[in-house]
A = this chain, B = another copy of it.
Amino acid sequence: MDDCVLLAHGSGGKLSHDLLRDEIISVFGNPLLERMDDSAVLDIQGRIAFTTDSYVVTPIFFPGGNIGKIAMCGTINDLAVCGARPLYISVSLVIEEGLSIADLRVILRSMREVVDATGVSVVTGDTKVVNRGCADKLFINTSGLGIIPSGVNMTGVEVGDKVLVSGTLGDHSIAVMSKREGLEFDSPIESDCAPLNRLVASMLQASSQIHCMRDPTRGGLASTLNEIAQQARVGIRIEEDQIPVHEGVRAACELLGFDPLHMANEGKLIAFVAASEAERVLSKMRGHVFGSNAAIIGDVVKDHKGQVVMRTSLGSSRIVDMPVGDILPRIC
């Protein structure tokens, strides 16, 4: 194998097959993938969740992860927050000619680690190579399939629900940006990039009164809560004091003029839970490695429908809008 990916690796000819066999299928190896058919044939019964995401994060390596880890975690999390048990993942690579095979190996290896940690299988894929200057090192699309267990039925948010968040906000955005811009902080900030399927499974086991879950990625908590407030025609009230934010992220945001509520997360979820069960779910979350900083940050109200209102640390109230424009492009 050469040191770099060449255009010919995308030809569909012999070099394509060598790259596939030696670098990709060998990493994800399982009988379904090894058939190398045009489609994977799967036996699934029941309600199926289906999701897709393309990942274009730059730089492709950052504190706490890389584009491969995000691509696996992000799609697993999209399935998990729908209540699905993630089962099958597709991996489609768009590689810029010249990417080092060594970097590709590290990225695929990270993806494999997520496979091992979560129990999903990579069952189908695709690899394209484009000329130098026509992409930025590597883009990854992952699509995923999961099965929603018959007992799981998230019926949508209700007035009175508590709003829970599984941990600190903004770590991913600040980690990527600090690497990209060469910023240094006293305590380095790592991406929170993590697969949440096991956390979700334990939450669903603890309570049947989880009405809705989401992962606040691009656009951050602010976008996710606004989407839900608008879709469900409810108001959401949150308490600034209760929202967990790492000291370093808070400092970086203040320095740079960013709002932690607008920052993308890659290993966090938001849950809407009936008030009577909120403490029980919270305690279950805190017992999990990816939920140790979980908190109840607000509730669903019948006032100010379609809006998110935050009581600030100073005691005043302000409307939390979706971010307008792109303050941090290519964060995922």
Q: Which B residues are in CB contact (< 8 Å) with A135?
A: 56, 134-136, 139
Decide if A106 is an interface residue (CB 8 Å cutoff): no
B37 x A82 contact (CB < 8 A): yes
**Interface 9-mer from A119-127, A181-189, A236-244:** A119-127
A38 x B81 contact (CB < 8 A): yes
Interface pairs A-B: 3 shortest CB-CB: A12-B218, A12-B219, A11-B326
Contact of A17 among B7, B46, B322 (CB under 8 A): B322
Q: Measured between C-beta atoms, what is the minimum distance from A239 to chain B in Å?
A: 23
A124 x B12 contact (CB < 8 A): no
Closest to A93 in B: B54
- How many chain copies does the complex carry? 2
Contact of A126 among B54, B231, B330 (CB under 8 A): B54
Decide if A215 is an interface residue (CB 8 Å cutoff): yes
29 residue pairs A–B, Cβ–Cβ below 8 Å: A8-B325, A10-B218, A12-B217, A12-B219, A14-B321, A14-B323, A15-B326, A17-B322, A38-B77, A38-B82, A39-B79, A39-B146, A40-B50, A41-B84, A43-B47, A48-B48, A50-B90, A50-B123, A50-B143, A51-B90, A51-B124, A54-B126, A54-B141, A129-B329, A130-B136, A130-B329, A130-B330, A131-B330, A139-B139
Known contacts: A12-B323, A41-B48. The answer to whether A56 contacts B94 by CB under 8 A is yes
Decide if A223 is an interface residue (CB 8 Å cutoff): yes
Cα A84 to Cα B43 with chains together (Å): 13
Decide if A151 is an interface residue (CB 8 Å cutoff): no
Interface residues of A in 213-243 (CB under 8 A from B): 214-215, 217-220, 223, 227, 231
Mark A6-34 against chain B: 1 for CB-CB distance below 8 A, else 0. 11111111111100000000000000000
Q: Measured between C-beta atoms, what is the minimum distance from A169 to chain B in Å?
A: 14
Q: Measured between C-beta atoms, what is the minimum distance from A245 to chain B in Å?
A: 19
Closest to A123 in B: B50
Closest to A325 in B: B8
A52 x B90 contact (CB < 8 A): yes
Q: Measured between C-beta atoms, what is the minimum distance from A51 to chain B in Å?
A: 4
B38 x A42 contact (CB < 8 A): no
Which one of A54, A146, A215, A223 has the greatest number of beta carbons of chain B within 10 Å?
A54
Contact of A125 among B52, B128, B148 (CB under 8 A): B52
* 10 new A-B contacts at CB < 8 Å, known A13-B223, A38-B81, A43-B47: A7-B329, A8-B324, A12-B264, A17-B227, A38-B214, A39-B49, A40-B49, A44-B48, A45-B45, A50-B145
Closest to A40 in B: B50
Q: Which B residues are in CB contact (< 8 Å) with A136?
A: 130, 134-135
Q: Which B residues are in CB contact (< 8 Å) with A16?
A: 218-219
Cα A326 to Cα B84 with chains together (Å): 41
B52 x A141 contact (CB < 8 A): yes
Q: Which B residues are in CB contact (< 8 Å) with A141?
A: 52, 54, 92, 141, 143
Decide if A102 is an interface residue (CB 8 Å cutoff): no
Known contacts: A50-B90, A82-B41. The answer to whether A11 contacts B128 by CB under 8 A is no
Cα A145 to Cα B144 with chains together (Å): 11
Closest to A134 in B: B136
